[in-house]
Amino acid sequence: MNNQLSNISTQYRKFTKGQYVKSSQFNEFLDFFEDQDRLSRVMLQGVGIVCGLKPQPIFIRGQLNSIQLSQGAALTTDGDLLTLNKTSEVSKELYVSDLKTIKIESKDFTHFKVYDNFKVRYPAFSIGATGQIELWELATSEEANSDFKPINNLTNLEDKYLLLYLESYEKEIKPCRGVDCDNHGVQQIRNLKVLVTTSAGIKYIIEKDKIQKHPLFIKNILEAEMQERVIVERLILDRGIETPVFSSDLKYLYQRVLQNNGFGKIVFEKVNAISNLLGIEAVDHQSFKSKLEECLTQKTGFQYVYDVVKDLTETYSEIIAQLPHAFTKCFPDLLSFPKHIMLGKLISNTQLDSCRHQFYNSPVLDDEKAVKKIRLLINRFRQQTQNFRYSDRFEDESSIKITPSQKLNSLANKAIPFYYNITDEFLKAWNFDKTSNRSSKDNLAYNVSLLSSDDHIQKPLDFNIDKNTFYNIEGHQGMDYYEAFKQIKQIKDKQQLGFDVMGLSLLELKNNKDLYKAYFNEYVDKNPGLEHNRGVGRGDTFIMVYDTAGTKTQVVADFTLPYICCTPKIDVKLTLPDSVICSKAPAVPFTVFPMNGDVKAVVDEGLNGGVEIIDGKYFFNPSLVSSVLYNEDISFTVNGKPTDCIIRVTPQSYMKVEVISVVNEGSSATVNFKVSGEGFTNYTYTWDFWDNGNWVNLDPDGEGNLKYIFKDINPDIIPTIKVNVSNSGCTQNIAIDDWYDAPSAPTVVIDSVEFSKDNCCDGTPVYIEAEINGPTSLPLSAREFTLEGMGYGGTSLLYSWTKTKGPKATLAGVDKPNLKVTNLAAGDYGFRLTILDQVSGAFVKAETGVTVYSDDK
């Protein structure tokens, strides 16, 4: 056999007029240009079947009558251009080839004979030194001679395969007779044969063919692998609506599906089979499976284990979609099929025949995108298996995020899920087009740390999302349900996203008026078709399933319904005067729309959220709020629909302010104070040192110490020091009396005093007494108390009440015998009663103290 491209001519000679040309010089010239012509075909166009050449067995009355082969074109790896032809004229000159024509639609082969490869010993057909595969040569009725048999004698047609073979050799030189041998050269024989072989023969040929071993021809490789659907309503259908559903039941649904498909084992096998033919390292399935089994030991995240296997099947679908387009060779192997072309199985029902050569384009005609994309997708498959991560700890450290994505497009066009650890290599493997354009950092993802710093990538919801039909919602599984609901709704409302949110409790809800919550069993029974999609489509409902343990609620799964379901459409509004209130503050009214709306606090069962009804109106009473809710945001619903109204209750704390020492220096006095109490540094302190209404801010140091200098103080008029202590709505009023010790005066001893008789004690003296009756302590819940003043002596008595210390309060009857005190706050109060006789001018004072204590003390 003579392969033209086995040795390629690289030079030739030019001849001058009258020059004697040797055969080697002339042949060198021919070989160079023929080699260049062949190389141009192979390297710049491609190899394989260009078109046509399709066999069709023709049967008459159940017997094979002929094998019809349509006209076509094919290129061998030796650069031979093959077409069907027939003889149009036979030359009468010795050793000159017959003239042929290719203007034919098809050829009908009606005869056959055994073909012997002895002339050429073509390697693709030869076995050992003398053997060969089974071969039969076909001929038309015009070409057949006595050696051929009718085609209806060809047996076992189901095991027959067709070949085009260009028989190529030099005709043996015979002695010259009667003519000058200088007129003739060595004849190059090129006979195009249509051959038939068996399955064993075609298998032998393919084993030597380095090009045709293409991933497309792996058995069942184009059969897409689909993830089995998890049907949630089976929990109700199989067991009944009365049987409680636990989070472990939900996990089992997904675990069973994953175990049934071996955690994606068949997909790994197929991808690795493709990788093997492309010379790419296999992906380890066992380590991936172990990682998934470990994730399934946790209470949450089992849906993401299902998701990653589903992602891998989508990547595989993208791979096999490219295989039919991946017939491109930059440098085809020249010995794969230098003189033959496989035409396929004689009788075949498959459109894609692995025993028929495809056409492998040159990169000039095809930019190799399909092959490059397959390699990138296999790398993405590897990156997905290596970078999948999920753990409860990871979820705890996450925050909820909504990322615009796609619903029906390929995985490459979707936002990268948050359960992948994103690296630079991962980003480059995610989307072929973006990587080709050097914009791999323009992918959207939960984790944006490695993405482009452009705002439309970092904050995609702030920009046009008309093309996005889906939203990834991530970071909520494992969170407290109420916190997750609040965050998702805030993002949804702020960005005006077109979906709704609901929560399903695995624990049965009693007296439930929150239309955004429902009992899992009842809801699924009425709304079958829940699907987990790792988010929600536009116009759909996102559903979080949560479990309850004591006072804690935890999101364990999420689903989607393909419609807006079961939430109220009437707008509701709810406001309070402040967002922070003290636990001992009086009740404040809600502003409710609609006015007859039913207001509920969103708190765990058994806790009091502070909502009360007074005279038919809704109030928030902080004193009713359960102490475990202090310093936590309390939200509310109106007619079961969540609102934006939130309030935080801060507990009333009691600070102690004492005068530690007073240092007198002339007319000045330096007073050193000591402040103590739990968390005293978190409070703000406002002082009225001179009891004149001039308040100044002065906070103690970290040890609770501070001082103030009184200048030109009058020892006879010592002011009451007032302190207002406040923090997050809670206030405490403190009054400090009798804090000043005047310097000791010189001791004077008077032995005797003589009074003038005319100037002493004229008339009868008047004696007045005062008494106060009333409580000395009472709880804050009493809300008010009354002090009863009684005067003795005199003829016309006047009463005057003053509050000497304590928190703010409302005094009624300050000029009456009885004093009513309302609007109380916890603390120590002091009151002074002055009784004056209008006739004599004599007066007397009496004082009392009342302690108002917290109900929880």
HSE at residue 299, side-chain half, CA atoms within 13 A, is 17
What CA–CA distance (Å, rounded) separates 797 from 510?
65
Return the minimum-mean-pLDDT range out of 240-254, 339-353, 411-425: 339-353
For residues 626-641, give the mean pLDDT.
Answer: 88
C-alpha torsion angle, residues 665, 670, 671, 673 (rounded to 10): -140
**What's residue 760's pLDDT?**
40
For residues 838-856, give the mean pLDDT.
Answer: 82
Token duo for residue 343? 């035409």
727 and 646 in one domain? no
56 and 89 in one domain? yes
Number of C-beta neighbours around residue 386 at 10 A: 18
Token duo for residue 290? 């172990």
Checking phi first, is residue 46 left (phi over 0); if not, alpha (psi -120 to 50) or beta?
left
DSSP codes joined into one string, 563-621: S--S---S--EEE-S-SEEETTSPPEE-EEESTT--EEE---TT----EEEETTEEEE-
**What's residue 758's pLDDT?**
44
**What's residue 173's pLDDT?**
60
41 and 190 in one domain? yes
| Burial of 380: CB neighbours in 10 Å, binned 0-12, 13-18, 19+ | buried
Residue 286 to residues 262, 292, 510, Cα–Cα distance (Å): 10, 10, 47
665 and 626 in one domain? no
Query: What's the DSSP call for residue 672?
Result: E
Q: Do residues 518 and 558 lie in contact, with contact meaning Cβ atoms separated by under 8 Å?
A: no
Say yes or no to pLDDT of 742 above 70: no
Let me know if residue 283 belongs to a domain. no
Say yes or no to pLDDT of 458 above 70: yes
Query: Over the Cα atoms of the chain, what is R_g?
Result: 50
- pTM value is 0.62
780 and 720 in one domain? no
Query: Distance from CA of residue 453 to its chain's centroid?
Result: 19
Per DSSP, which regions of 239-314 are E strands?
Answer: none
833 and 690 in one domain? no
Query: What's the DSSP call for residue 379?
Result: H
Number of C-beta neighbours around residue 636 at 10 A: 25
Say yes or no to pLDDT of 762 above 60: no
What CA–CA distance (Å, rounded) separates 356 from 800?
117
Residue 614 sits in a domain of what CATH number? 2.60.40
Element (H, E) at 286: helix 285-295
Token duo for residue 603? 């708190």
What CA–CA distance (Å, rounded) separates 690 from 325?
93
25 and 109 in one domain? yes
For residues 5-25, give the mean pLDDT.
Answer: 71
HSE at residue 547, side-chain half, CA atoms within 13 A, is 15
Residue 615 to residues 285, 589, 619, 781, 824, Cα–Cα distance (Å): 69, 11, 10, 19, 22
Query: What's the DSSP call for residue 461?
Result: G
Q: Is the dihedral of CA 850, 854, 856, 857 positive or negative?
A: negative
Greater model confidence, 614 or 18: 614
Return the minimum-mean-pLDDT range out of 134-143, 320-329, 435-444: 320-329
**What's residue 327's pLDDT?**
80
Query: % helix / strand / coil in the chain, to the nearest 5?
Result: 25, 30, 45
Strand order in the sheet with 721-727: 696-697, 684-688, 721-727, 730-736
pLDDT tens-place string over residues 68-98: 999 999 999 999 999 998 877 666 554 455 7
- Number of structural domains (the chain) is 4
What CA–CA distance (Å, rounded) separates 405 from 439?
17
Among 598, 623, 650, give the residue marking a domain's end.
650
pLDDT tens-place string over residues 678-724: 888 888 999 999 988 889 999 999 999 999 999 888 887 889 999 99
Greater model confidence, 42 or 542: 542
Q: Is the dihedral of CA 3, 4, 5, 9 positive or negative?
A: positive
Residue 765 to residues 82, 754, 769, 793, 842, Cα–Cα distance (Å): 148, 20, 14, 11, 9
Let me know if residue 228 belongs to a domain. no
Say yes or no to pLDDT of 753 above 60: no
Element (H, E) at 559: strand 552-561
pLDDT tens-place string over residues 584-611: 889 999 999 888 788 999 998 889 999 9
Strands 86-89 and 131-132: unpaired
Return the minimum-mean-pLDDT range out of 11-20, 120-129, 339-348: 11-20
Residue 85 to residues 52, 72, 170, 247, 489, Cα–Cα distance (Å): 14, 10, 21, 74, 75
Among 601, 631, 650, give the residue marking a domain's end.
650
What CA–CA distance (Å, rounded) separates 594 from 390?
44
Token duo for residue 51? 């078109």
Q: Do residues 752 and 846 lie in contact, with contact meaning Cβ atoms separated by under 8 Å?
A: no
**What's residue 716's pLDDT?**
77
Let me know if residue 599 belongs to a domain. yes
Among 632, 650, 668, give the residue marking a domain's end.
650
Q: Helices (H) and strands (E) in the chain — how many of each?
A: 14, 48
Q: Mean pLDDT score of the chain, rounded to an integer?
A: 87
DSSP codes joined into one string, 766-835: ---EEEEES-SEEEGGG-EEEEEEEEESSSSEEEEEEEEESS--EEE-TTSSEEEEES--SEEEEEEEEE
Spell out the residues 6+ positions from residue 81 whose beta carbon is closer than 8 angstroms to its own.
Answer: 41, 73, 74, 75
C-alpha torsion angle, residues 744, 746, 752, 758 (rounded to 10): -70
What CA–CA distance (Å, rounded) separates 405 from 413?
8
> Would you call 674 helix, strand, or coil by DSSP?
strand
Spell out the residues 6+ positions from residue 509 whose beta carbon is closer than 8 angstroms to its own.
Answer: 517, 518, 519
Q: Taking each helix axis from N to C terminus, what angle separates 302-322 and 247-260, rounded to the nearest 10 degrees?
A: 30
**What's residue 172's pLDDT?**
64
What CA–CA distance (Å, rounded) separates 239 from 229?
19
Token duo for residue 609? 């959220």
Let me know if residue 93 belongs to a domain. yes
Query: What's the DSSP call for residue 389?
Result: -
Let me know if residue 370 belongs to a domain. no
Residue 181 to residues 21, 178, 647, 670, 852, Cα–Cα distance (Å): 16, 9, 114, 139, 138
**What's residue 745's pLDDT?**
45
732 and 668 in one domain? yes
Let me know if residue 520 belongs to a domain. no
145 and 69 in one domain? yes
Say yes or no to pLDDT of 179 above 70: no
Which of 25-34, 264-273, 640-649, 848-857 tops mean pLDDT? 264-273
Let me know if residue 724 belongs to a domain. yes
pLDDT tens-place string over residues 483-528: 999 999 999 988 989 899 999 999 998 877 677 889 999 999 999 9
Spell out the residues 6+ positions from residue 461 whose beta carbon is closer than 8 angstroms to its own.
Answer: 402, 403, 404, 491, 495, 497
Backbone angles phi and psi of 493, in degrees to 5: -70, -40
Closest CA to 775 of 733, 833, 820, 834: 820
For residues 415-423, give the mean pLDDT.
Answer: 94
Cα–Cα–Cα angle for 392, 626, 398, rounded to 5 degrees:
20
156 and 51 in one domain? yes
**Residue range(s) defining the domain that contains residue 614:** 568-650
For residues 426-438, give the mean pLDDT.
Answer: 94
- Tallying the residues shown for the chain, one arrives at 857
Strand order in the sheet with 810-812: 769-773, 784-792, 818-822, 810-812
674 and 703 in one domain? yes
Q: pLDDT > 90: what percent of the chain?
A: 52
669 and 641 in one domain? no
ω into residue 123 within 30 of 0, thus cis?
A: no
Band (pLDDT 50/70/90 cuts) for residue 367 is low
Residue 787 sits in a domain of what CATH number? 2.60.40.10
Let me know if residue 447 belongs to a domain. no
Closest CA to 311 of 447, 458, 415, 437: 415
**What's residue 325's pLDDT?**
84
